[in-house]
Amino acid sequence: MNLQRPILWVHEEALGPANPALRAWPEASALFVFDTLWIQQQRISRKRLGFLYENALELPLTLRKGEVASEVIAFAQRHDADGVVTSTAVDPRLQRIANAIEAELPLQELEPDAFVELPRPPRLGRFSRYWREAEPVVWEGYSAAG
C-alpha cells in the first residue's frame, strides 16, 4: 500500500513512542479517540480514562471522543488524507473498528515490536508449552547483548 498523506489512528494498545505508526510517519497528524460506547457499556471508571489521557498527552495527538471509526474517518477528511495508518491490535473491539475504517478508507496496519519472534506459531493452550518454545529465543537476545 502506497499512502502519500495518511493520518494515524493511535489506539489503547499503543500509547507510547514505540508505536510503529508514529515512528514510520513522523510528520503525519495523529488521533486518539475515547470510545464513548465502550466507556458506557463497560462502566469504565474515571481513573482509567485519566490514565489513558495522561498517556496520550505525552504524544503529539489530537484527542477526541465518540464513535471511533467515524471520528477517524472525519479526521482523515479534515486533513485531506488518502488513508489511515495504525498499529495492529489484539483486542477484537479494536479490530472491528479497524475493519469499519477500512470499509471507507485504505488502512495500513503496522506490527508493534514483538517480545519474541518465533519461527512458527507456538502451541498455545498451556503456558509451559509456549514457554518451552519461546524462552530460548527470548534469551538469545541476552547472549547477543552480553
Q: How far is the CB of 1 from another protein (least distance, A)?
A: 21
| 39 near another protein, judged by CB under 8 A | yes
d(CA 47, CA 114): 29
Work out the burial of residue 82: count CB atoms within 10 Å of its CB; fewer than 13 is exposed, 13-18 middle, 19 or more buried.
middle
Please tell me whether residue 80 binds another protein under the rule CB under 8 A. no
Q: Is 108 helix (H, G, I), strand (E, B) or coil?
A: strand
CA 70 to the chain's CA centroid = 17
Q: What part of residues 4-33 is at the interface with another protein (CB under 8 A)? A: 12-19, 22, 26-30
Q: d(Cα 139, Cα 146) in Å, to the nearest integer?
A: 11
Distance CA 41, CA 39 (A): 6
Q: Select 100 or 134, whichever has its Cβ closest to another protein.
A: 134
Binders of another protein in range 40-59 (CB under 8 A): 40, 42-58
Question: Nearest approach, Cβ of 108 to another protein (angstroms)?
Answer: 17
Q: Judged by CB under 8 A, which of 111, 113, 119, 120 binds another protein?
A: 113
Does residue number 63 form part of the binding site for another protein (CB under 8 A)?
A: yes
Q: What pairs with residue 65 in β-bridges?
A: 34
Least distance from another protein to the Cβ atom of residue 123, Å: 9
